[in-house]
Amino acid sequence: MRAFILGLIPLVFSIAANAQLVESFADGNLNQNPTWAGDEGSFQVSGEQLQSNGPATTGTTLQLVTASTAASGVTWEFYANLRLATSGGNLADVWLMADQASLKTSGTKGYFVRLGGTPDEISLFRQDATGSPVYVINGQDGTLKSANNNVVRVRVTRSAQNVWVLEHDLAGGQNFASGGTATDATHQRSAFFGVRLTYSSANNRNFYFDDFRITDTVPPALLSATPTGPHQLDALFSENLDAISAASFRLVAGPAVLTAQTDADNPALVHLTLGGNFPLGNNTLEARNITDANGIVAAGPLTAAFVNQGFAVVPAFNQVLITEIMADDTPVVGLPASEYIEIHNPTASTVLDLAGLRLLKPGSATAAVFLAGAVLLPGEYAVVCGSTRVSQFAAFGKVFGLTNFPSLSNAGDQLVLRARNGQTLFEITYSDTWYKDLRKKEGGWSLEMVDAANPCAGSSNWTASTNDSGGTPGRVNAVRTTNPDRTAPTLQRAVALTPTTVRLVFGEKLDSLANTNVGLYALTPAVPITRIVPQGPDFRAVDLLLATNLPPNQPLTVAVHRATDCAGNGAGPITSTAFALPIAATAGDVVINEILFNPRTGGVDFVELLNRSANYLDVQGWQLGVEQAAGLSASPISAEPYGLAPGQLLVLTTRPDVVQSEYPTHDPAAFLTMASFPSLPDDAATVVVLDAKGQTIDRFSYDEKLHLPLLSDRNGVSLERIRAAEPSVGGNFHSAASAVGYGTPGRPNSQYQADPTGAKLFQIEPEIFTPDEDGQQDFTTLTYRFDYPGYAASITVYDAQGRLTRRLLRNETLPNSGFLRWDGLTDQGRKAAIGPYVLLIELYRVAGGETHTYKRNVVLGGRF
């Protein structure tokens, strides 16, 4: 900014209009025309010259200043005579610009001419708020070489373009020689002009100065015009202005200027108020007859072009979207080898102010923060990457390089954009299954959002880029097409977190405001609901706050009359689910119901649990573990509350999407995603379920030999529990049927068999079975119940001709009740022939010496 100089009292009228300070010391004093301050007692006017007269002490520093705001388009001139040999301890600094009155203390900013110093030079220096002075113009060493008479007149000019010219005349006249030129625009404002002297004891009276003159020779220039509001415009000039009028300004296109007011802190800045909103796009401000503070007039017209891009506002929910994710950048296909995301402003006319916007992964201690000045124009796309990767994406348009840019997991991650007030603006939890392409999943390709008008959708609205370079950072996605969300949200489950808080979990993101109406929810038996609290950052859940405590383990039903997703779809019919305040589980309440330990290539392991008790339980803090020779290896099942109702199935896996794609299920809500999963060997191991206190709830020792021997390929075949009430032993598990795809995660087991009723000592079920792995009567069971303990048994299968087919049991002690399974195979592992068979049962009770023999008939059938 160009400014003018004023003393502390007005200048006399005889001074030329373009001269802002003239000090010849002809009046013989320092207290008027202008007024000087500082160490004025250590200076005197002698022979109409300013002379130092400080203490005769080596290392003394003196200063004298007067008010001056001259900064640009200005010429400074002064006469000096240093009657001494200059050195590092004997020098004079003439401050042309200083932002503070103290020239001795650190922190004062400005420019000064140094006379002397160790190089005996005449040079121009800049002083910043910290650090040592730095050269602007480094004058010739040895210029001031006299031991007792260094006479010089110095002239310094700074143009409006910040070009500095240093000149001097070593005879003290007006025959100036060049001392150098340079460009420096660091400091644009000044408050004082002055001198600072440093000397040894013998030189306390050897500094003389005269003819200080500061002259403004340049009319004011219009530097810029900046829209600051719908009908506000700031005009910045090169120097302080005199009184101005709205009549001096007009827009080439747009409403009239109603008022013009100089800024209270910066008289070179003018605030204009317009008669209406000016149009978007390119425009020009004109200014005429502008007078600076020194009376110099710029007739004009002065012009400044500007662009009205609209006025940035803080984004609202879903106004700034993540529309592309490069999580796995290797191998390189055609884009830079760097992770990035793409953000998009889907609005038609709103400029978004991203300053303070945070990009983070929930749970992380750090966030990547957008800096002040970051804006996203209507419809604009921009790349967001690490601060050191900006140059790699410069060719793709607007780039925001952020410190603490989060590392993106290749397999999947959760990303959140939060406003500076903490509001969640956008959330995405992606997975590498979203590529829907095994080749592109391996790296070098980005994930792209299909329809930006459907930002709340997950996998159904994302896929791998189809662009040949691997992605479309900074521009419209290659896969863009219409893909609206017309599905209403479904209520998946409810769990009582506390006696007065119930959490409802839905199948998709909700409208966090539309679902806070207490009237949308009801409990049966009736319990008053006081408030609804949506749960971020993904807003798939709401908490119901209750007026009274729920009793433990007493079933209730929660009904949702209407739930609205963030796309505006509302549930039609009332949806409901049962729940209760959970109680602690005991051993055997929950059992392992199905297990896949040898998945197909590309598949993943899973373990299905069954709550066979009559109790409502919570698996928060539970663990799934594997016992091996090296010890127990366990992984957390759920860090969050997760209710398990009586009879409910719960499928544990790290990749529900993969399991569901291989084993179609009618209840995706039965799946719980685990962050990690214990390693399940393909041959044999013991799986353990532990509660939050580390107590064993169930354990099952699986073995690949438990699979049906006739299977040609056991990969991808799960073991299913046969009877819920029976122990978790090998005899109670069987290979899943081929007719259901060799697995039933999240739905009833294909090999499930109800516990038989009746009081018979031995019971065959079914009496006709067809071991063809179709899930229908694939085996037969012999259920037994004894009145007394201690029986040993041998059970043998014979065909109709009395030939031995299979020894099921041989002299083994049995519990009071249980069952044995025959899968239709012979002792040689071959399928037995179709026809009738006899099970010969021989019992021996040691305590009483009793021996009993029984026969039961069964038919091995086949389908034609």
End-to-end distance of the chain based on CA atoms, in angstroms? 99
811 and 682: one domain?
Answer: no
- Cα–Cα dist 596/745, whole Å: 9
How many domains does the chain divide into?
A: 6
Query: Which CATH number covers residue 729?
Result: 2.60.40.1260
Confidence (pTM): 0.56
Residues 258 and 386 in one domain: no
Same domain membership, residue 812 and residue 683: no
Q: Does residue 376 lie within any of the structural domains?
A: yes
pLDDT at residue number 15:
32
In a domain, 484, yes or no: no
Domain containing 270 equals 222-308
At residue 62, the pLDDT reads: 97
707 lies in the same domain as 734: yes
Q: Which of 252, 274, 308 is the last residue of a domain?
A: 308
CATH number, residue 242: 2.60.40.1220
Residue 711 domain-assigned (yes or no): yes
7 located within any domain = no
Which pLDDT belongs to residue 605?
A: 95
811 exposed, middle or buried (CB, 10 Å; 0-12, 13-18, 19+)? exposed
pLDDT at residue 311 in the model: 76
What residue type is assigned to position 281 of the chain?
G
Evaluate the omega torsion of the peptide bond into residue 34 and state whether it is cis, within 30 degrees of 0: yes
Measure the CA–CA gap between 652 and 654, rounded to whole angstroms: 7
Asked whether the beta carbons of 171 and 143 are under 8 A apart, the reply is no
405, two tokens: 């840019």
pLDDT of residue 604: 93
Q: Is residue 10 in some structural domain? A: no
Q: Quick one: 182 and 226 in the same domain?
A: no
Enumerate residue ranges in the chain where pLDDT < 50. 1-19
> Is 335 domain-assigned?
yes
Does residue 475 sit within a domain?
Answer: no
CATH number for the domain spanning 816: value is 2.60.40.4070
What is the DSSP code string of 255-285? PPEEEEEE-SS-TTEEEEEESSPPPSEEEEE
| Helices first, then strands: H and E counts in the chain | 1, 63
Q: Check whether residue 670 and residue 538 sit in a common domain.
A: no
Question: Within this chain, do residues 833 and 720 fall inside the same structural domain, yes or no?
Answer: no
Q: What gap in Å lies between CA 822 and CA 66, rounded to an integer? A: 110
**Which of 555, 578, 601 is the last residue before a domain boundary?**
578
Residues 735 and 603 in one domain: yes
Which of 162, 186, 216 is the C-terminal boundary of a domain?
216
* Shared domain check, 186 and 144: yes
Q: For residues 375 and 412, state if they share a domain.
A: yes
Distance CA 598, CA 680 (A): 8
CA 571/CA 573 separation, integer angstroms: 6
| Cβ atoms 795, 809 nearer than 8 A | yes
pLDDT, residue 756, reads: 66
Q: Report if residue 313 sits inside a domain.
A: no
Q: Indicate whether 209 and 232 sit together in one domain.
A: no
**DSSP classification of residue 737:** P
Instruction: Give the closest residue to 428 by CA, choosing from 534, 320, 503.
Output: 320
194 and 122 in a common domain? yes
